[in-house]
Amino acid sequence: MKRQRVQRADGKAINLVQRRGHLSYCYNACCCGRVDRGYAAVPVDLYKSEWLRRKLRNTVHMTKGGCLGPCTLANVVTLLFDGRSTWFHSINSDWQVLAIFDYIDSLVAAEGYLAPPAELAEYVFQFYSWTGAETAGAAGAAAPVAAEGIAFLTHAETDLLTLHHSVQALPPDFPKMVGINLLAIKNEAHMAQLLDRELAAARIIVLRVLGRPSSIPGFQELVRRAQAQGQHLLVISGAGDLNPELAAVSTVSPAVLHEALAYLQAGGHANLTALLHYLADHLLLTGFGYEPPATLPEHGLYHPDLPENADLADWLRLRDASRPTAGLLFYRAHWVSANLAFVDALVRELEAQGVNVLPVFTASLKAVDEASGAPWAFRFFKDENGPLIDVLINTVSFAMSEVNPDGPTSAGWSVEALRQLDVVVLQAITSGMARGPWESSSRGLNPLDTAMNVALPEFDGRLITVPISFKEKAREATGYVPVPDRVARVAGLARRFARLRQVPNSEKRIAFIFTNSNSKASQIGNAVGLDAPASL
């Protein structure tokens, strides 16, 4: 611990403990932490508790300051270590704060600068034209680690979410697992740090790649090191084929690659758990045992109160026949990766409002049963007597029909399929945005969400509702986090539409509302491509 003797203005000598770094976080000025202005909260208590718990007082000073950087990047954090500054934006969640303190611990242990870890890389920016790197010394080498773990690198966030659930099922003495998002590796420096630390601790490295491997920064160095250090490297295409180019750089036999591909294509946390057991037994000579790949359905029924392979007969025993019923459609990918928090939230809210819920997952609404001409998923919503549901909540994006961008979209098979179902379809939006940017934006949903979940679904006649969940990143993986009041809003709409279906037409009242943007009589009902008065 270095000290400096400083003489104060009053003549008193002070022995100053010199710090290695300084952590500052923006709070409660014009933007950061100002929830009253639409910005995300700052976890102030967590900063203080972690700083104290990790005993950083004499190593890294910490300041809760006013405005640090641009409001468009709130909440902002800056770390100065050994003369080099690193800036972070959008630090809104507890896991991010913990990751920053983990990063500080690694800097202290390395006795010098290290690139930010992959999980924080997407939040890094530089506010100034200098960083301090011009005068910073070289980082100390990472301490050697025993290579006995398994690393899983992938472009797909759903893979990491599935891995998170799979790890929970592994035995306590299983080799250490680490999951890494390839999209978070922004440059070769980040890859070099992974190779020196997380990947150096792995005997088995699995890469599931979407696109060409050359797009991954530092990929060739990863291959070179794996081959030089005798690590088991599996490079597998996320598209589902056994790619000769990827097989050529792998260091395991084609038989192992083929089997690993089969597990990954089958999908689901049970298959991924079995794959990890298979790799450990075959490559590390353990004896955990493993199951062969299990085929999972493309379309199926799910309910949090039913077993995994439940069918319609199981659900019929669960429902209350005196209540109305809402169907709920969602993507198979969410079921496979156990990304079901938003589904469970809708189920519980609807049931609390007195509505049965029939949740169904599907790979695509364009997968059609040739006999009925309707999507395969629709077969769960009706029997020989007609529809089993009174309203349908759909979270699947895009349109069933083929949309013509160059002119009018003609009616197709989807019209008859929806006519057979004969219920109102509500479009509930599972946003690909994080909640913070949505709340602080005057626009709301970004253009991609608007196209996928508003504009295109309208071609099927779906009634657009509100976002019920947002894509939030946790430390282990990214998942859809439900918003309770928005879930309640959609559930209330579904309940009222379900009730309306049971009301005789003679007792219903209908209102027609026309736009009139400039208050001129000639503009009533005016809109591009519509002739509202004539339609009425």
Please state the domain extents for the chain.
17-125, 149-283, 299-506
Q: Do domains 17-125 and 149-283 have the same CATH topology?
A: no
Q: Is the pLDDT of residue 472 over 90?
A: no
Peptide bond into 28 cis (omega under 30): no
383 versus 129: the higher-pLDDT residue is 383
| Residue 142: half-sphere exposure toward Cβ, Cα within 13 Å | 17
Q: Is the pLDDT of residue 136 over 90?
A: no
Q: How confident is the model at residue 441 (pLDDT cuts 50, 70, 90)?
A: confident
pLDDT averaged over every residue in the chain: 89
> What is the percent of the chain where pLDDT is above 90?
61
Q: For residue 530, what pLDDT is reported?
A: 66
Give the mean pLDDT of 48-72: 91
Quick check: 251 and 226 in contact, CB under 8 A?
yes
Fold of 149-283: Rossmann fold (3.40.50)
Size of the chain, expressed as the number of residues it contains: 536
454 DSSP 8-state letter: I
452 DSSP 8-state letter: I
Q: For residue 485, what pLDDT is reported?
A: 98
Q: For residue 404, what pLDDT is reported?
A: 64
Q: For residue 336, what pLDDT is reported?
A: 93
Quick check: 375 and 327 in contact, CB under 8 A?
no
Tokens of 196: 């020196």
302: how many CB neighbours lie within 10 A of its CB? 21
Q: What is the pLDDT of residues 282-320, one digit of tens each?
A: 999 999 999 999 999 999 999 999 998 899 999 999 999
Report phi then psi at 108, rounded to 5: -65, -45
Q: For residue 144, what pLDDT is reported?
A: 46
143 versus 163: the higher-pLDDT residue is 163
Q: How confident is the model at residue 387 (pLDDT cuts 50, 70, 90)?
A: very high
Query: Which residue, 147, 202, 213, is CA-closest to 179?
Result: 202
Give the mean pLDDT of 70-80: 90
Q: For residue 140, what pLDDT is reported?
A: 44
Q: Is the pLDDT of residue 146 over 80?
A: no
Distance CA 259, CA 279 (A): 10
CATH 3.40.30 fits 17-125, yes or no: yes
Quick check: 260 and 236 in contact, CB under 8 A?
yes
> What is the percent of the chain where pLDDT is above 70?
94
Distance CA 60, CA 83 (A): 12
Query: Which residue, 359, 375, 358, is CA-closest to 367?
Result: 375
Query: CA angle at residue 104 from 102 to 106, to 5 degrees?
Result: 70
61 versus 443: the higher-pLDDT residue is 61
Lowest-pLDDT range, 30-39, 442-451, 478-487? 30-39
Q: What is the pLDDT of residues 157-179, one digit of tens each?
A: 889 999 999 999 999 999 999 99
| Residue 35: half-sphere exposure toward Cβ, Cα within 13 Å | 6
Distance CA 447, CA 456 (A): 12
Q: How confident is the model at residue 395 (pLDDT cuts 50, 70, 90)?
A: very high
User: Which residue has tokens 């472009």?
Assistant: 155
Q: What is the pLDDT of residues 232-283, one digit of tens each?
A: 999 999 888 889 999 999 999 999 999 999 999 999 999 999 999 999 999 9
Fold of 299-506: Rossmann fold (3.40.50)
Q: Is the pLDDT of residue 491 over 90?
A: yes
Q: For residue 174, what pLDDT is reported?
A: 97
Give the mean pLDDT of 312-339: 96
Q: For residue 482, what pLDDT is reported?
A: 97
Quick check: 17 and 11 in contact, CB under 8 A?
no
Residue 506 to residues 86, 502, 503, 509, Cα–Cα distance (Å): 68, 12, 8, 8
Quick check: 329 and 364 in contact, CB under 8 A?
no
